Amino acid sequence: MELPRNRFKQALRAGTAQVGLWSGLGTANSAELCAAAGFDWLLLDAEHGFNDVLGIQPQLQAVAPYATSAVVRPPAGDPALIKRYLDLGAQSLLVPMIDTPEQARALAAAACYAPAGIRGMATMTRAARWGRVRDYIQRAREEICVIAQIESVTGLANLDAIAAVEGIDALFIGPADLAASKGHPGQPGHPEVAAAIEHAIRRARELGKPVGILTLDEAQAKHYFELGCSFVAVGIDVVILARAVDALRARFKGGSAGASGY
């Protein structure tokens, strides 16, 4: 059996812009519903919200039949957690709070087998198709994409050094935590934060490193692509649902909550 190809990583290498969606509802049905929309990539968020290691696997299975690539965000760069997500079959990991090149090197090592890394050996896993991918140990890292999320003043200061770490395939700028780190919590659109984000995107591109970001503003998303972002998440499932429900209720504000309110 052949090792599954990582379409997301291939597109990053080809310089193809990829539009994504953030998924935090934490169920296979919600992940499949979003994947069926045809986004290039879907972020399964296990840092915030309901997701955990066991909850991610059915979501990976639900997304697999579609053209959408699953990207998993673990809660931290813990090697034990990374090992489990990779064994479940996650091929792309977006790891939060990477502030230093030392953290980046540890992250890269966690995603790679010895002697180049420290990932624990196992082939009777979903990632290796239950032992059927004969050369999994030798080739796994080819199809794994490791993304370092930079979201602090320290991380920005170390952007060049983080980008230079072998095994870091891409960078991701986290606007919300970056705003807080800069003293503007809840204000990712603050001029100082916006300027820092644009500088980081341009610098990543100068270094030849693919870079991504999340924004809920359509015009801003297009602007980030124009600046050189390779992958941009343009929505969050929880936010989309909440806004749609609120808007629907607002249109019937004059009626009662029951059917007789029509």
pLDDT of 254 reads 73
- The question of whether 223 is a catalytic residue gets the answer no
* CA atoms of 189 and 211, how far apart (whole Å): 19
CB 52 within 8 Å of CB 26: no
**Cβ atoms within 10 A of the Cβ of 50, count?**
11
Across the chain, mean pLDDT equals 95
Domain extent listing, the chain: 7-243
| In the predicted structure, residue 33 carries a pLDDT above the cut 80 | yes
Beta strands 41-45 and 92-95, pairing class: unpaired
Would you place residue 187 in the very low, low, confident or very high pLDDT band (cuts 50, 70, 90)? very high
What's residue 260's pLDDT? 43
State pLDDT tens for residues 93-122.
999 999 999 999 999 999 999 999 999 999
**Is-contact 173 188, C-beta < 8 A?**
no
Q: What mean pLDDT is predicted for residues 200-228?
A: 98
Residue from 48, 184, 190, 199 carrying the catalytic annotation: 48
Q: Show the 3-state SS of 172-213.
A: EECHHHHHHHCCCCCCCCCHHHHHHHHHHHHHHHHCCCCEEE
Tens of pLDDT, residue by residue over 217-262, are 999 999 999 999 999 999 999 999 999 999 999 999 876 555 444 3
Q: Which fold has domain 7-243?
A: TIM Barrel (3.20.20)
- Is the pLDDT at 134 greater than 70? The verdict is yes
- Between the CA of residue 103 and those of 96, 97, 99, 108, 217, what are the distances in Å? 11, 9, 7, 9, 31
pLDDT greater than 90 at residue 65? yes
What is residue 50's predicted lDDT score, i.e. its pLDDT?
85
The model carries a pTM of 0.94
Residue 34 has pLDDT above 50, yes or no: yes
